[in-house]
Structure 1
Amino acid sequence: MQVAGIPAASEDSSTTSTDAGAPPQGVAPGPIARDAALRVGVLLPLSGAYAATGRELFQAVEMALFEVDAERVELLPRDTASDAETARTAFLELAAEGASLVIGPLFAWTTGAVVPEAVDRGIPVLALSNDISVADREAWMLGVHPRGEVHRILGHAIEEPGQRVGLIVPESDYGDAVAEAYQLAVPPRNRSGLIRYNDDSEPSDVAQQFVDTVRGSASRPGDAILIAARGNALRAIAAELAYRDVAPDQVRYLGLSSWRTSDLQGEPALEGGRFADLSEEAFRQFAERFRRIYGTSPSRTAALAYDASAVAANLAGIDPDTRIAWLQTPQGFRGLLGAFRLLTDGAVERSLDVYEVRRDGYSLLERAPARFAPTPQG
């Protein structure tokens, strides 16, 4: 591996080999490249307010290449400075230098400036944003989007056709994305109510509004409520719902990955609640290796940057004429935190675990499916 512009991690670092970024077992790798050299652009905020984040993500990119023993990849890091025009200019430089793939940018506004230029030039992009509104064909958003989390937790929780599911979401772009996914996943006859709240909303009012909307039917055994909240708002809303006889022993409380970052210990209403998230066990293993090499703790976004780099390493051995088809293989890839696949609309489908809230923390309830369905969904 060669890196232009930023020193590489030490090759004698103690790491564990991994097959992240490779197709699942039994999937043909595709034709071998005639010219195996692959120039990979990396667009990250390496200066300004987010420089520390950019540096961490670049370290994860390096780490992946060393762990998969990629020798035929040249990294071309460029600074976006968290600015849209700077990101666009940096991408054009990479295109002029012959980059065959770009990892990054990180933010939606920088990604949005790069994607049209990349699509016009036929250069695939593995961005680290989760805003699928800036995705396009051959420009994928590797960030975890609520759509996949909603699909996973509802698929796990809904066992009978007659089950009803309600939704409580914040008034925000995130809340809008969750609500859209909920409406796609749950038929109208199975929706027991959709309530939005804002920073000024009293949890008691939110809970009462939900109860009034469903007219008491939400307390039927087997029903569920998806609460797309976090932190104090999540704990308070759950407690107020339980107080109004939307009892957690009858109504399943469901959540998304935001639940993991909330301190839910000591809130009885949430015990037994379930949420979807990437593999925590796999992330801990990655974090230990990262700390051993770099001396700092990584974010979960660093694991996504690692996956993008591992995909690039495997792409180096694929014939240029078949690379896009290989990237879109329906079987997907073995990711660091679970399997994932790149869909034709620029979204990324991920395989997620289901966790249950316990009095002393969280426990793994159901592992992510080992394989995707034969054809992509959505």
Structure 2
Amino acid sequence: MFAFLSSARKVLTRSVFASVIVALAACQPITLGGGTGLGGGAGPTINTSEPVPVALLIPKSSNGAGTVATSLENAARMAIADLTNVKIDLRVYDTAGSTTQAAAMAQKAVADGAQIILGPLFADAANAAGVAVANQNVNILSFSNNSSIAGGNVFVLGPTFENTAERLMNFAARQGKTKVLIAHPNNVEGQFGRNAVQQAASRNGIAVASVNGFEFSQAGVVAAIPQIKAAMDSTGADSLVMTSNSAGALPMLAQMLPEAGVNPANTQYIGLARWDVPAQTLELPGLQNGWFALPDQAMIQNFQTRYTQAYGSSPHQLAGLAYDGIAAIGALVEAGNKKALTAGALTQGAGFQGVAGAFRLRPNGTNERALSVAMVRNKQVVIIDPAPTKFTGAGF
């Protein structure tokens, strides 16, 4: 216990600000809105009997993202090979990880005849690309999961905080939870997470009893513990949502809050981030009997196995987004509708089947992905509410 506590308390002194690709794709503080209000988003008229020109914008020559770029391209080509009655003319453009080049490559792709753009990877690049071609009647399926860039002609394929928060708050409401406290670091990621939980709680009839932000540092977390405990006591909240992940404040919170008297037996701990990576996280006291959401792991494993067999190495964790993009395009084109790549078609309520299960794009440019709710039971992950296999209704 004490050895692990020591490790947990050191976590914020290590390289938690390292360039994890998922974080880079998700947490750029972009506010331009990805072309909203610039006239984009309708989409072209296509000939479904001919190969459909699809542009793939990836940072092939970027020093920090070349590996993920290769994985994305491989996954896209794998998806194309899986299509039976549709031909995709995939054209690859190198953004070099540059916002300026992403905009230029988006313009070039459209000039070359692209009917839809898949990518770019980073939020700022996707935002710039969307603005650059907003008046060209071409939609963009970006690999970002930053909802702040979604809208107009830009859709985000990456898993969003909003989607995860909605799944968890909906489940919590169905389990009789009525009042939640939110604990989040005062950084961009933490603020996005806080907002997502607040909105999802409101939609599902759960009151937000208290919002507790803290400095993203070891000292900040230590100082926040008694404040969170006091807020739990004074508000009578039945649930505590922590937005932090295992690379950030989660280990300290999940160790120190139970020690301070926020008992997991009486308070429902809920996590906006994945708690199963790394596996050591599952040992934390505050996570026992806690809830978090995750995609269908059997489906992801199937994709990873197929990818490894095809390319001789494991895919990057974001590779499936490229497969999903091609799968959605292929499904729409196969239906034979000349308006297959318009915003109206892309946002069909039934959605699509992807690497991790069902997903659909929403009219506001964000997405909804089918997620399972898991519980940590005896330091193991147990699925307590499986992911739906298809969508019904309009979504949240």
Q: TM-score range by the shorter chain?
A: 0.7 to 0.9
Contact 1:256 1:277 in 2 (8 A): no
Q: Deviation of residue 189 (structure 1)?
A: 7.6
Which secondary structure does the structure 2 equivalent of 1:260 belong to?
coil
Mapped partners of 2:177, 2:62: distance in 1: 53
Which secondary structure does the structure 2 equivalent of 1:183 belong to?
helix
Matched with 1:21 is none
Contact 1:248 1:269 in 2 (8 A): yes
Cα shift readout 1:271-328 (whole Å, capped 9, x = no counterpart): 1111012222211111111111112112331111110011222333333335323212
Mapped partners of 1:163, 1:133: distance in 2: 28
Deviates further, 144-153 or 182-191: 182-191
Mapped partners of 1:97, 1:362: distance in 2: 48
Mapped partners of 2:166, 2:309: distance in 1: 36
Confirm or deny that 1:257 pairs with 2:273.
Answer: yes
User: Normalising to structure 2: TM-score of the pair?
Assistant: 0.81
Q: How does 1:112-123 map to 2 (within 5 A)?
A: 112-123=127-138
Q: Tell me the amino acid that sits aligned with residue 158 of structure 1.
A: A
Matched with 1:10 is none
Q: Deviation of residue 60 (structure 1)?
A: 0.6
Confirm or deny that 1:211 pairs with 2:229.
Answer: yes
Matched with 2:170 is 155
Matched with 1:108 is 123
Q: Tell me the amino acid that sits aligned with residue 303 of structure 1.
A: G
- 1:198 pairs with 198, 206, 215, which one? 215
Mapped partners of 2:255, 2:383: distance in 1: 24
Mapped partners of 1:368, 1:244: distance in 2: 34
Matched with 2:322 is 305
Which secondary structure does the structure 1 equivalent of 2:382 belong to?
strand
Q: Deviation of residue 162 (structure 1)?
A: 6.6
Confirm or deny that 1:369 pairs with 2:388.
Answer: yes
Contact 1:115 1:136 in 2 (8 A): no
Q: Deviation of residue 255 (structure 1)?
A: 0.7
Q: How does 1:21-170 map to 2 (within 5 A)?
A: 33=47, 35-49=49-63, 50-69=65-84, 72-159=87-174, 163-170=178-185
Confirm or deny that 1:290 pairs with 2:307.
Answer: yes
User: Normalising to structure 1: TM-score of the pair?
Assistant: 0.85
Confirm or deny that 1:326 pairs with 2:326.
Answer: no
Matched with 1:276 is 293
Matched with 2:256 is 240
Deviates further, 72-81 or 290-299: 290-299
Contact 2:126 2:142 in 1 (8 A): yes
Q: Tell me the amino acid that sits aligned with residue 38 of structure 1.
A: V
Q: Which runs of 5+ in 2 are unaligned?
A: 1-44
Q: Deviation of residue 333 (structure 1)?
A: 1.1
Deviates further, 359-368 or 158-167: 158-167
Cα shift readout 1:95-142 (whole Å, capped 9, x = no counterpart): 111111111000011111100233211111110001122222232100
Q: Tell me the amino acid that sits aligned with residue 45 of structure 1.
A: P
Q: Deviation of residue 160 (structure 1)?
A: 6.4
Contact 2:288 2:379 in 1 (8 A): no
Confirm or deny that 1:316 pairs with 2:330.
Answer: no
Contact 1:167 1:193 in 2 (8 A): yes
Mapped partners of 2:86, 2:352: distance in 1: 20
Mapped partners of 1:327, 1:234: distance in 2: 36
- Cα distance 1:246–1:217, how it changes in 2: closer, same or farther (>3 A)? farther
Q: Deviation of residue 376 (structure 1)?
A: 3.5
Q: Which runs of 5+ in 1 are unaligned?
A: 1-30
- Cα distance 1:245–1:66, how it changes in 2: closer, same or farther (>3 A)? same
* Residue identity (%): 25
Structure 1 residue ranges (4+ consecutive) displaced by more than 6 angstroms after TM superposition = none
Mapped partners of 1:257, 1:214: distance in 2: 21
Mapped partners of 1:161, 1:37: distance in 2: 52
Cα shift readout 1:238-287 (whole Å, capped 9, x = no counterpart): 22221222110111110123323243233232111110122222111111
Contact 1:230 1:261 in 2 (8 A): no
Mapped partners of 1:364, 1:321: distance in 2: 39
Q: Tell me the amino acid that sits aligned with residue 350 of structure 1.
A: R
Confirm or deny that 1:354 pairs with 2:373.
Answer: yes
Mapped partners of 2:273, 2:286: distance in 1: 18
- Cα distance 1:248–1:91, how it changes in 2: closer, same or farther (>3 A)? same
Mapped partners of 2:385, 2:158: distance in 1: 22
The total of aligned residue pairs comes to 344
Q: Tell me the amino acid that sits aligned with residue 355 of structure 1.
A: A
Matched with 2:284 is 267
Mapped partners of 2:125, 2:378: distance in 1: 41
Mapped partners of 2:252, 2:306: distance in 1: 37
Q: Tell me the amino acid that sits aligned with residue 85 of structure 1.
A: T
- Cα distance 1:239–1:87, how it changes in 2: closer, same or farther (>3 A)? same
- Cα distance 1:260–1:198, how it changes in 2: closer, same or farther (>3 A)? farther
Mapped partners of 1:53, 1:161: distance in 2: 42
